[in-house]
Amino acid sequence: TDMTMSTWLPPAHILSTELEGWAASLEEASDGSLNVDIYPSQQLGAAPDHYDMARDGIVDMALVSPAYNAGRFPIFAYVEIPFSFGNSTTGTRAFHEWFLDYAGAEMGDVKVCLITLHAPGLMHFAKEGVETPEDLSGLRMRPAGPTVAEWLTQQGANIVPSSLPEVRELADRNVIDGTTLPWDMADFGIHEALSFHLDMPMYVGAQVHVINPSFYDSLSDDERAAVDSHCTPEWSERISTAWFDEAERFRVQLSEDDSQTIYAISADQKAAWRATSDPVRDAGYAAVSAKYADIDGAEIGAMLQEKLEAAGAAYDSVE
Amino acid sequence: MEGELVAILGFSALFVLMILRVPVGIAMGLVGVFGFMAMRGVGPGLNLLLNSPFRTASDYTLSVVPMFVLMGVFASRSGMSSELFRVSRAFVGHRRGGLAVSTILACAGFAAINGSSLATAATMTKIAMPEMRREGYEASFAAGSIAAGGTLGIIIPPSVAMLVYAILTEQDVASLFIAGILPGLLAVALYSGAIWIVSFRRPEAFPVAQRTDRRERIIALRDVWATLLLFSLVFGSMYLGVVTVAEAAALGAVGTMIIGVLRGRLDFPAIRECLIEALRTTASIFTIAIGAFLFGYFLAITRTTQNLTGFITALDMAPAMIMALLLLGYLLLGAFVDEIAIVILTIPIVYPAVIAMGFDPIWFGVIIVMTVSIGLISPPVGMNVYVINSIDREIGLVGIFKGVMPFLAADLVRLLLLSIFPAISLLLPSLMP
Amino acid sequence: MARVIRWIEVFAGYSIGVVALLTFFEALLRYVFRVQIPDAYSFAGLLQAVAVFWGISTATYAGRHITVDILWEALPKSLARWIDVFAGLVSLLFFGLLSVMLFRKILISAGSSEATNQLHVPLWIFIAAAAIGVFAATFLNLVRIFEHLRSATRVKES
Ligand code: NA
Ligand code: NA
């Protein structure tokens, strides 16, 4: 059986190469009965349409960034609340396990297979001087996703939304003063324009990899077993760990680069930053309670925190 | 079904539909949808229509197209094209063939603030044709110089064709525009050369016009401040990299409007008509873009692009030879098909192979726009010639095509020079800060 | 009919103007005063979609789409008219399918709480506004086919 899989990332991206490895392993597990065809770089549809593409059968499996669909997946959006995740490795597994309980409610028209996190993201600026939340006021920031955007707005920053490939141009042209991204932003050359890095990893971004349910149902028992064995929190952790290692490589590279400034702030300043995320957290919880009658947003939020703590992936456990 | 077979059937269907005058965008869209159905099933094929067309229409990066179109419409409506003609006539009009050279220069100036060839040709026909007639110019050569000058609209940036290329290939629009400047000037020089040769061999075609006195020259010169200001505003900000291209385009459109209003040349009804004119151009370009994306998904799912790239790179032929054949193909295509449509239709297929052969993406963008622009004046379907013919009914298509011939020769020379010396296009972008 | 077309074009033309002004003022305010228009980019893109689809409807009626005319120009007028009818029917198929799917898209989007990033304006409103343009295109396409059938000769675009 041919399995058509779409991503919006370029083929050289670490997530693309990891997915190739995942696909090869899946093919092997099915004894060659499954054949995965990967179409990278938005060849089969725009990045924000990838959830619908899997749902509608345009492809069998798609790499989805729910951050592109503001307001549509409020439960999944918990992942992006700043100062929640301490790491993106065991954190991925914990989040995947937690989200499966709500996948039916939020992504009921697809099968959730994998959830991947990028390495904890931090803020990068064109100029020095941002040490406290107040320093963000008036800066033009390109946010990671809608939750981070809302958080930045609350700190008084101006939002300039853009896709990842455009960030470099915006930074080069002084359209933005900063952005939030993990260290592998250097892969896009963004560090050349934004060379001041506040050494305070503060949020994570997530992708969910979903499968068309009719395609899944049409598989033979053996094929389905192979897919099931590859749609697990363990696989999610494995892929995210590789991504984290990649980001670390860039962090080391930038720390050895004289043109780059990685600066730390005091513990008091960090505490001040942490306190700023409560409003977006509460708003995120409220959005869930409002959209799903039978789900209490705050309650499942607390469950996610517990889960993260148990996995050693809560924000506190790292400090 | 096999991808290759479906792809061949798809291309055949596309050809038949287009020749039966189904709008290019709609033909591409339908073939894309039904071809996708053949590969993935009826439901998935139909579902392409759920998101993709709206996604294309609402794509903010494409907003540069209507913005530059709008800028050109405002500029034309507020009389900036006739100012340009007046000043170039004041300075070179009295030389042999001078009015024709003036036309080319005015076209070049107008091209620097608008992105469309048809707009350039249309507006210059109204302005320059009566003047050249009055001075006894042979009508077919006069019209030929306007038709050729009109192609500068997409050769000299801003250019809708370059925009479309840059967006499709994810190249930097600013770099591509900057890369188009020197080749545009080369085009002006070669067109002027063509006029000079013709006037040398057939003096009766281009009589000598009256000399303008110095006072009039200065008055005429004073009028072009608006054009210079707008051009430097848009390109200066883009060259220095202080705004995005979308912002530069909006700056150009709104700036042209404000200047037009301040000089008393645009009132509210005129602005409304300009908006409608820009909307019409925008709608016809977006129809093709919408169809092209749908067709692109069909190309992807049949792996046509990859297969073609593999085929071409496996050919035992020098890349320069392949490029020559490719450009020849574009010349032939350009003779029949709309220029924007050609770029949207073929670039997604051809571009990966060209890059795989090691050609520079910016250079290729410039050369492709140059090549398809020739189609605007080449028989049998030359849109610029058609536009002139629809405004000036006395010469006839054959007459205008005859007058275009020296300029076609100049175009081929330019194409050759650009291919041999890529630096003509690549020098300026390499100097960008 | 001419008044309806005019009204559609004026409305869509203004939308283009608003896109230009939004982008212009967004940049101006951002550079000069360091304040921003929330969701400016989203609104500009969404308004552009409305303008484009409404513009496509009048382009369809007026026969202003980009076409390959080589065969059509060469044929006698009586035959060319049938080519117009055929092309009209093919276009009708496209716009008909697109109308159905856009109608579905409105429903799906309204049910999904999708909204703009900052002001949380529901997206379905814009999708519906744009979709009206495609519904109009379908209808005007039908009208055009009838006009071709009625007229004895090919209709030159206006
Ligand atoms: Na131009
Ligand atoms: Na031609």
Region C62-68: what's the mean pLDDT? 88
Question: A150 contacts in C (CB within 8 Å)?
Answer: 118
Q: Does B50 touch chain A (CB under 8 A)?
A: yes
Interchain proximity C24–B253, CB inside 8 Å: yes
Q: pLDDT tens digit string along B104-145?
A: 999 999 999 988 888 889 889 989 999 888 888 899 999 999
Determine the residue of chain A that is closest to C101 in CA distance.
Answer: A56
- The answer as to whether B366 is a domain residue is yes
Please identify every residue whose CB atom is under 5 Å from ligand 1, which is an ion: B 111, 115, 153, 156, 159
Interchain proximity A45–B297, CB inside 8 Å: yes
- The answer as to whether B17 is a domain residue is no
**Residue B211's pLDDT is what?**
77
Q: Does B433 touch chain A (CB under 8 A)?
A: no
Helix (H) or strand (E) holding A73, with range, is: none
Q: pLDDT tens digit string along B16-58?
A: 999 999 998 999 999 999 999 999 999 999 999 999 999 999 9
**Residue B342's pLDDT is what?**
84
**Residue C73's pLDDT is what?**
85
- The answer as to whether B28 is a domain residue is no
What ipTM goes with this model? Answer: 0.94
Do you find a cis peptide bond into B158, omega within 30 degrees of 0?
A: yes
Cα(A208)–Cα(A54) distance, integer angstroms: 11
**Residue C154's pLDDT is what?**
52
Optimal mutation site among B33, B48, B54, interface C, most CBs of chain C within 10 A: B54
pLDDT for B396 beyond 90: no
Residue A218 to residues A33, A221, B113, C114: CA-CA distances in angstroms?
A: 13, 9, 57, 31
Determine the residue of chain C that is closest to A150 in CA distance.
Answer: C118
Torsion over CA of A77, A80, A82 and A87, rounded to 10 degrees? 130
pLDDT for B77 beyond 60: yes
Tokens (6 digits) for B237? 């900000």
**Residue C146's pLDDT is what?**
93
Region B97-109: what's the mean pLDDT? 93
- Give the residue among B370, B358, B55 at the shortest CA–CA distance from C52: B55
Selecting from B43, B52, B244 the residue whose C-beta is nearest the C-beta of A169 gives B244
What ligand has the least distance to the C-alpha of B151?
Answer: 1
Q: What's the domain count of chain B?
A: 1
Within B156-210, where are the H helices? 160-169, 173-201
Give the minimum alpha-carbon distance from B208 to chain C in angstroms, rounded to a whole number.
39
Cα(C113)–Cα(C108) distance, integer angstroms: 9
Q: Domain coordinates of chain C in residue numbers?
A: 1-155
- Band (pLDDT 50/70/90 cuts) for residue C155 is low
**Residue C158's pLDDT is what?**
39
With contact defined as beta carbons under 8 Å apart, do B422 and B374 qualify? no
With contact defined as beta carbons under 8 Å apart, do A34 and A26 qualify? yes
DSSP designation for C122: B
C-alpha B150 – ligand 2 centre gap (Å): 13
pLDDT for C131 beyond 90: yes
Q: pLDDT tens digit string along B273-294?
A: 999 999 998 998 899 889 989 9
Question: B170 contacts in A (CB within 8 Å)?
Answer: 165
**Residue C27's pLDDT is what?**
87
Region C68-87: what's the mean pLDDT? 90
- The answer as to whether B6 is a domain residue is no
Find the domain containing B149 and state its range: 61-285+303-430
- The answer as to whether B297 is a domain residue is no
Interchain proximity C65–B23, CB inside 8 Å: yes
Which segments in chain A show pLDDT lower than 70? 317-319
Selecting from B44, B55, B241 the residue whose C-beta is nearest the C-beta of A58 gives B44
C-alpha A155 – ligand 2 centre gap (Å): 57
C-alpha B326 – ligand 2 centre gap (Å): 17
Question: C128 contacts in B (CB within 8 Å)?
Answer: none
**Residue B65's pLDDT is what?**
86
C-alpha C32 – ligand 1 centre gap (Å): 29
Beta strands in C15-134 (DSSP E): none
C-alpha B377 – ligand 2 centre gap (Å): 5
**Residue C153's pLDDT is what?**
54
- Band (pLDDT 50/70/90 cuts) for residue B1 is low
- The answer as to whether B174 is a domain residue is yes
Residue A3 to residues A32, A62, A215: CA-CA distances in angstroms?
A: 12, 11, 8
With contact defined as beta carbons under 8 Å apart, do B365 and B171 qualify? yes
Selecting from A138, A149, A158 the residue whose C-beta is nearest the C-beta of C117 gives A149
C-alpha C27 – ligand 1 centre gap (Å): 23
Question: B340 contacts in C (CB within 8 Å)?
Answer: 66
pLDDT for B159 beyond 70: yes
Region B184-213: what's the mean pLDDT? 87
Cα(B352)–Cα(A126) distance, integer angstroms: 34
Backbone φ and ψ of A88, nearest 5°? -115, 15
**Residue C152's pLDDT is what?**
57
Interchain proximity C27–B280, CB inside 8 Å: no
C-alpha B106 – ligand 2 centre gap (Å): 23
Percent above pLDDT 70 for chain C: 96
With contact defined as beta carbons under 8 Å apart, do B14 and B27 qualify? yes
Q: pLDDT tens digit string along B215-248?
A: 888 888 888 899 999 999 998 887 777 788 888 9
- Band (pLDDT 50/70/90 cuts) for residue B205 is confident
- The answer as to whether B8 is a domain residue is no
Q: Which residue has the tokens 């506004």?
A: C129
Interchain proximity C9–B276, CB inside 8 Å: yes
**Residue B433's pLDDT is what?**
64
Percent above pLDDT 70 for chain A: 99
With contact defined as beta carbons under 8 Å apart, do A140 and C30 qualify? yes
Selecting from C38, C108, C117 the residue whose C-beta is nearest the C-beta of A146 gives C117
Q: Does A69 touch chain B (CB under 8 A)?
A: no
Interchain proximity A72–C114, CB inside 8 Å: yes
With contact defined as beta carbons under 8 Å apart, do B410 and B147 qualify? no
What ligand has the least distance to the C-alpha of B252?
Answer: 1
Interchain proximity C34–A158, CB inside 8 Å: yes
Round the average pLDDT of chain B to a whole number and report it: 90
**Residue C54's pLDDT is what?**
98
pLDDT for B97 beyond 90: no
Question: B63 contacts in C (CB within 8 Å)?
Answer: 19, 23, 44-45, 48
